[in-house]
Amino acid sequence: MSYVDGFLIPVAKNKVAAYKKLAAWGKKVWMKHGALQYFECAGDDLVVPPDCGKDFKTLLSLKPTETVFFSFIVYKNKAHRNAVNKRVMAEMTKQSKVMPFDVNRMIHGGFKTLVQG
């Protein structure tokens, strides 16, 4: 089964264009080094019913001037992910990119796929 890196990234609404540019560059780099799929999804409907737990706005303490990106990268398996990310990080250390978001508020995790369709 595949392996997925997932991200929640709060971005100021006035920096979405800069984030999109950075994300397009990131897609090129990850895909070049072997990622199977790359997604950057902008928050659209972030409100959930009160009895369904926390929503993204609450979880990330989003300000009215911010939105959230749900981003994920798909790999063959965890070993493939580790190899791809090693090559990506080597390339990224050669580049200096200004991040259009606060990296300290980004949430990241690796996920084993249990059901796939």
The whole domain housing 96 covers 3-112
pTM of the model: 0.91
Which whole number is the average pLDDT over 16-45? 96
- Domains: count for the chain: 1
Beta carbons within 8 Å of 38's beta carbon, 6+ residues apart: 26, 27, 30, 31, 73, 74
CATH classification of the domain holding 42: 3.30.70.100
pLDDT above 90: residue 97: no
Flag whether 117 is in a domain: no
Flag whether 25 is in a domain: yes
Instruction: Please tell me the distance from the alpha carbon of residue 15 to that of residue 101, in angstroms, as a whole number.
Output: 8
Flag whether 11 is in a domain: yes
Q: What are the pLDDT digits (tens) for 60-88?
A: 999 999 999 999 999 999 999 999 999 99
Flag whether 38 is in a domain: yes
